[in-house]
Amino acid sequence: MDNCGKALEKNPADLTVMDVYDIAAVMGQEFERIIDQYGCESLTRIMPKVVRVLEILEVLVGRNNLSAETEELRMELERLRLERRDRLEREKRHQKELELVEDVWRGESQELLSQIAELQAQNKSLSSSLALRDNPSDQDKMQQDGVSEKETQAVRKLKEVVEQQRNEIHAREHELTLKSEDLEALQLQQHRLMRMNQELRHRVGLVESQGKAVIQQRAQLELELGQLRQELARLTEDHQQQLEGTSLLSTPRSTTPCTRTRRNKAQRQSTVEKAKKQQQPSPKAAGACSEEASLWVECGMDQDFLSRCCGPAESPAPLSVSNNADPSASPVCNPHSNTEDEELSNLLLEALQDEEQEGEVEQAVEGRCSAEWREPSQPRFTLDDLQEVLQERNELKAQVFMLQEELAYYKSEEQEEALAAINPLPSPPPCRPPVEQPESGIKRLIFTAVMPMVAAGLISDDPTLLPIRRLISFV
């Protein structure tokens, strides 16, 4: 009962689980007394509640006790931390004090060592002075030894300096030789580039001249084509007029156009033969006439060319000779003959013109009838044939130009080799590194002359260039 009263008198914060058990025992005794007096029915409803309150009180007291223990442990931990911090601070202060003491000791020891060194030096000087006083000859020997040692050291240093300078001179000489070799290589490359530039300019000039010539030829061909078209238009008009005139004429039905043209041709030939018999030219005049006629045929009826060749006074009059015309029926060679010759020449001209017109009509008719009256021996060239001939001529000129360039290049290479053989280069020093060989002349020829022309289409890519391609792949 005393313990129960003490438990009830305690501070709630100081209660323990045992105190709660004591309080439960006191309350149990009180419940027994009430049960004895009034019975169990009066406590059946309150008894579970009191038990529940006691259980809650037990739990709360247990928690309070645990929190109190944790608080105590926390306080102990804080105390230990403070003690550790204080101990570390004390150790740091002690370490600083030790460092200060060590610094002071080191300073004092250095001062003592310096004093010892000074004293030793003074001792040596004093001992040497005493020795010099006692033995003056020894002093001279020591001075000489000191001077000789200084001289040997100076000579050794001078030798080292001279050796270094000699090495630097050798290095500079090596650099100078390398620079000179580079300069020579650059000069050779400059000469080669200048030569290539000159060759390219020459080629450009030739190409420009060829282009101008081609342009002139084209203009000339266009002019000739226009003249031929005009002549063809004129001939077609004359042919139409002649057809209109012949249609008006009354001809027998049995005669065909072929027989008519043949009859007219025979009549004209007879008149020409009569005129020839009447006019007997001298042999010289006949030779001149035949020469001029052949020249007229060869030059393609070019009056300017014939006047330049034979002279303005001797050039024959322009004639339009057809394919069926007889070469013997040429005009009179000498324009200053008598009136009979002029009349005869006019007659021949008219006959030839009529023969030409009839020949054209005959060709038109024979195209429908037969082709046996045509003369296959006469040469016939079209505009395409002339263009092909001109193109072949230009290609041959380009090939000749490339061969000339190649020959000049080989000649220059031979001259350079001859000069190199006459003036050989000095032998390189032994310490000199090997110099790279210059670029091959064949390789430069391939890359500067042949292959650009192949790429430009000036040279056809034929099988003869296979060795050059192999040489390029090998290089």
pLDDT over 70 at 65, yes or no: yes
Residue 13 lies in a domain: yes
Are residues 390 and 217 in contact, defined by beta-carbon separation less than 8 angstroms?
Answer: yes
Q: Is residue 462 part of a domain?
A: yes
Is residue 234 a part of any domain in this protein? no
- φ/ψ of 317, rounded to 5, equals -70, 145
CB 327 within 8 A of CB 309: no
Give the model confidence (pLDDT) of 154-176 as tens digits.
888 899 999 999 999 999 999 99
**Among 23, 86, 88, which residue's Cα sits nearest to residue 57?**
23
Instruction: Answer whether residue 87 shows pLDDT above 60.
Output: yes
pLDDT digits (tens, 9 = 90+) for 207-245: 888 888 888 888 889 888 988 889 899 998 888 888 888
In a domain, 140, yes or no: no
What's the pLDDT tens digit per position in 334-385? 444 455 556 656 666 666 666 666 666 556 555 544 444 444 444 456 778 8
What angle do helix axes 2-9 and 17-38 make, rounded to 10 degrees?
120
Residue showing tokens 């003074």 = 122
pLDDT at site 428: 46
Residues 352 and 268 in one domain: yes
Q: Does residue 192 belong to any structural domain of this protein? A: no
**What does the alpha-carbon distance between residue 7 and residue 18 come to, in Å, rounded to a whole number?**
9
Do 333 and 405 reside in the same domain of the chain? Answer: no
Q: Structure tokens of 192? A: 């080669």
pLDDT the model gives residue 391 = 85
What is the predicted pLDDT for the residue at 176? 93
Q: Check residue 354 and give its pLDDT.
A: 65
Could you tell me the two tokens for 233?
A: 């238009």
As a whole number of angstroms, the distance between CA 112 and CA 118 comes to 10
Residue 141 falls inside a structural domain: no
Q: Given the structure tokens 């027989």, which residue do they identify?
A: 259
**Is residue 344 located within the same domain as residue 403?**
no
Q: What one-character DSSP code corresponds to residue 249?
A: S
Same-domain status, 362 and 394: no
Q: Clarify whether residues 364 and 395 are in a common domain.
A: no
Is position 412 within any domain?
Answer: yes
303: domain range?
A: 259-369
- CATH code assigned at 21: 1.20.58.1770
46 vs 252, residue with greater confidence: 46
pLDDT at 434: 45
Specify the pLDDT at position 168: 92
**Per-residue pLDDT, 162:** 92
Shared domain check, 443 and 398: yes
User: Among 94, 110, 126, which residue terminates a domain?
Assistant: 110
Query: CB–CB of 318/303 below 8 Å?
Result: yes
Q: Which domain-ending residue is among 110, 132, 160? A: 110
Do 360 and 296 lie in one domain? The reply is yes
Which tokens hold the place of 387?
């263009």
- Residues 19 and 92 grouped into a single domain: yes
Q: Which of residues 110, 125, 153 is at a domain's end?
A: 110
The pLDDT value given to residue 304 = 53
| pLDDT tens-digit series, residues 89-119 | 999 999 999 999 989 998 898 899 988 999 9
342 and 405 within one domain: no
Render pLDDT for 180-204 as a digit per residue (tens, 0 to 9). 999 999 999 898 899 888 889 888 8
Sign of CA dihedral 304, 307, 313, 318: negative
pLDDT of 300 strictly over 50: no
The reply to whether 346 and 408 lie within a common domain is no
**pLDDT at residue 72 above 90?**
no
Q: pTM for this structure?
A: 0.24
| Whole-number Å distance between alpha carbons of 208 and 219 | 16
Residue 122 belongs to a domain: no
Q: State whether 365 and 450 are in the same domain.
A: no
pLDDT band at 288 (very low <50, low <70, confident <90, very high): very low
With beta carbons less than 8 A apart as the criterion, state whether 296 and 383 touch: no
What is the structure's pLDDT at 49?
Answer: 86
Lowest mean pLDDT among 36-40, 144-148, 390-394, 414-418: 144-148
- The domain total for the chain is 3
Taking residues 312-327, report their average pLDDT.
39
Does one domain contain both 393 and 455?
A: yes
Span 141-162, average pLDDT: 78
